[in-house]
Amino acid sequence: MRKMNRRDFLKNISLGTAGLTLLAQPALAEESHEKFSGEKLPSKIRRVKETYTVCAFCGCGCGIILYSNSDNKIVYCEGDPDHPINEGSICSKGNAIIDTYNTIEKKGDRVINRLRVTKPLYRAPGSTEWVEKDWDWALSEVAKRVKKTRDESFQERDEKGVVVNRSTGIATFGSASLDNEENYLLHKMFRSWGLLNIEHHARL
C-alpha cells in the first residue's frame, strides 16, 4: 500500500472540493432562480409579512425583523442584517421579544396574553376598579395634570433671589425605544418646562 504524502493529500482534497462544487452548480442555479424569480420562497417567509423595527429591550438600538402571519400574530423574529448596529446578530432578549405579548399554554402553543394592557386604564381617587379610557381622554388628562403640577411647584427665584425658573414637582424617566432625535426633542421640551429631574434608564 502506497503511503500518502502531504502533496498527495492536498491534491486529493482540492480535487474533491472542485468535484463537489461542480456537482452543486445545477442545484445552486435552480435555487438562485427560485429566489429571485419569486416562484418559490423559503418556508419561513413564504406566508408571512416582514416588519422592520428596533428592539425595545435595552438602549443598544439593534434592528430586528418581525414576521407575522395573516392574523397579525408575530411568529418569528431575527436580527436585521442591514442594520448598522447589530448587523444581523441578536441577543437572547431580542430573540425572545415575540413573547413580550404572548403566553405559552400547556400544549406549548403561543397565544396572545389576555392580561396584556393595550388601552389606557384609569382608577379614580378612592376607587378600587380600573376603567378603560380612550387615548384622547388620557393624553388630555395627563396634559392638564402636568400643567397643574408645574404651576404649583414652579419657582422663579431661589432663596437668595437668583433667577432659576425651575419646577421640582415633576420628574421624567426615558425609554430605550426612543432614538437620539426623539430624546433631543423631549429633553428640550422638559427643559422648557423648567424640569431638573430628567433621567433615562439607558442614559443615552
**Residue 36 confidence (pLDDT):** 44
Q: Which residue has the higher pLDDT, 100 or 120?
A: 120
* Sole residue written with cell 472542485: 18
Query: Within 10 Å of residue 174's Cβ, how many Cβ atoms?
Result: 19
Question: What span, in angstroms and rounded, lies between the C-alpha atoms of 116 and 114?
Answer: 6
Question: What span, in angstroms and rounded, lies between the C-alpha atoms of 151 and 135?
Answer: 24
Q: Cβ-count burial of 26 within 10 angstroms (0-12 exposed, 13-18 middle, 19+ buried)?
A: exposed
pTM (two decimals): 0.54
Which candidate, 158, 145, 138, 146, places its Cα nearest to that of 190? 146
37 pLDDT exceeds 50? no
**Count of CA atoms in the C-beta half-sphere (13 A) of 42:** 5
67 pLDDT exceeds 90? no
CA angle (111 as vertex; 108, 117 as ends), nearest 5: 140
The fraction of the chain above a pLDDT of 90, given in percent, is 24
pLDDT 10s digits, 137-165:
999 999 999 999 999 999 889 889 899 89
Class level of CATH domain 43-112: alpha beta
Which candidate, 135, 98, 94, places its Cα nearest to that of 113? 98
Q: Would you place residue 135 in the very low, low, confident or very high pLDDT band (cuts 50, 70, 90)? A: very high
**Domain-wise residue ranges, the chain:** 1-39, 43-112, 121-200
Question: What span, in angstroms and rounded, lies between the C-alpha atoms of 21 and 131?
Answer: 66
**Residue 30 confidence (pLDDT):** 46
**Residue 203 confidence (pLDDT):** 55
pLDDT 10s digits, 105-124:
788 777 777 788 888 999 99
